[in-house]
Amino acid sequence: AKRAGRGRYRMFEPGMDELLHRRREMEIDLRRALALKQFEVHYQPFLDLASDTCIGFEALLRWKHPVKGNIPPLDFISLAEENGLIVKIGEWVLRTACKEAASWPGDLIVAVNVSPLQFKADTLLETVASALEKAGLPAHRLEIEITEGALLDDTDNVLDTLAALRDLGVKISMDDFGTGYSSLSYLQKFPFSKIKIDRSFVANANADSEAILRAVAGLGTSLGMAITAEGVETLEQLARIRGERCTHVQGYLTGRPMAPDQIATFLAQSNRE
Ligand code: C2E
Ligand code: CA
Ligand code: CA
Ligand code: CA
């Protein structure tokens, strides 16, 4: 142990104090990150399996911390949700993704993750409408990805907002499907345009996850929803999901998340293949 002043000792193993301290530091840094332009959006392609072409990209937030380097979203998004910063950060992601997508060729879609907290803030509809308008992006080129957390409470408000977004022409997809408590019940609450099957069901090549993959794809198909298999990393996994009525694929095999300036090259290469 090292002396840390006032008779307190700081252990090498992080104790409760140390963890709280790190958290507070991260929170202070996070509050400044937007103003200091430390965020970037990277984009991961998703492909239509019928035509084998890239039809859009998912926007994934990146934090380039000047000292700590790249901090992955899973390490700061829950903190940003606890202190409410996610509303401002999420708004920035929406505006940035719409602006960047407006320069992409053709009808490529941009899919943006929206936190349940952004629904609670009650400004989501206005934010989306204004982001589309400022960017000059047609609404049908935007997809909003929500997790079932958004539908846990205050459901009526959330459903109204989703319906209003859909009326604008925005697509709504259910993300991480199968990981929550009662994913199935959410499917009848709202006509999602797409279900994204969590990568845990794609990665595990056992009989159970295959049965689940098959059932969800069948269910989505009968409900008229598109089905994306997430996290496809190998050709074996790709072959498996092709056999299971999935309509879209997203994963390291078909493209890693990339900086916005890499998109043109990626599209040129994938069109040539
Ligand atoms: P997600 O929405 O499920 O996004 C997919 C995650 O899986 C991304 O991680 C992506 O890089 C990763 N991934 C894609 N293909 C593969 C693969 O083949 N193998 C493996 N092992 N991983 C793959 P990332 O970028 O670290 O994001 C993690 C999570 O953070 C996202 O999961 C999403 O829940 C959240 N997130 C990211 N950006 C935002 C954002 O702008 N707003 C909000 N609210 N959440 C975000
Ligand atoms: Ca997502
Ligand atoms: Ca997901
Ligand atoms: Ca996830």
Please state, rounded to an integer, the average pLDDT across all residues of the chain.
91
The dihedral over CA atoms of 263, 269, 270, 273, expressed in degrees to the nearest 10, equals 180
Which residue type, as a one-letter code, is found at position 195? I
Q: Of 153, 150, 109, which Cα lies nearest the Cα of 132?
A: 109
What does the pLDDT read at residue 5? 54
Least confident of 2-11, 76-85, 131-140, 152-161: 2-11
Question: In testing the pocket of ligand 1, which one of 41, 47, 60 has its CB within 8 Å of the most ligand atoms?
Answer: 60
Least confident of 11-15, 203-207, 263-267: 11-15
Give the distance (Å) from ligand 1 centre to CA of residue 95: 19
Q: State the Cα–Cα distance between residues 192 and 220, nearest whole angstrom.
A: 9
For ligand 1, whether the C-beta of 85 sits within 6 Å is no
Complex ipTM > 0.95: yes
Beta bridge partners of 3: 9
269 contacts: CB under 8 Å, gap ≥ 6:
none
Reported as a single tens digit per residue, the pLDDT across 191-242 is 899 999 999 988 887 888 888 889 989 988 999 999 999 999 999 999 999 9
Least confident of 17-21, 45-49, 226-230, 231-235: 17-21
> H-type helices in the chain, by residue range?
16-33, 77-82, 85-101, 116-120, 124-135, 155-168, 183-187, 199-203, 207-222, 235-242, 263-272
> Residue 227: how many CA atoms within 13 Å on its side-chain side?
28
Give the distance (Å) from ligand 2 centre to CA of residue 58: 7
What does the pLDDT read at residue 185? 81
For ligand 1, whether the C-beta of 257 sits within 6 Å is yes
What does the pLDDT read at residue 1? 45
Whether the CB-CB separation of 126 and 164 falls below 8 Å is answered with no
pLDDT tops 90 at residue 148: no
Give the distance (Å) from ligand 3 centre to CA of residue 60: 11
Give the distance (Å) from ligand 3 centre to CA of residue 85: 21
DSSP 160: H
Question: In testing the pocket of ligand 1, which one of 70, 100, 113, 249 has its CB within 8 Å of the most ligand atoms?
Answer: 113
For the chain, the C-alpha Rg in angstroms (whole number) is 20
Reported as a single tens digit per residue, the pLDDT across 96-118 is 999 999 999 999 999 999 999 99
Beta strands 171-177; 194-197: pairing state: parallel
What does the pLDDT read at residue 11? 55
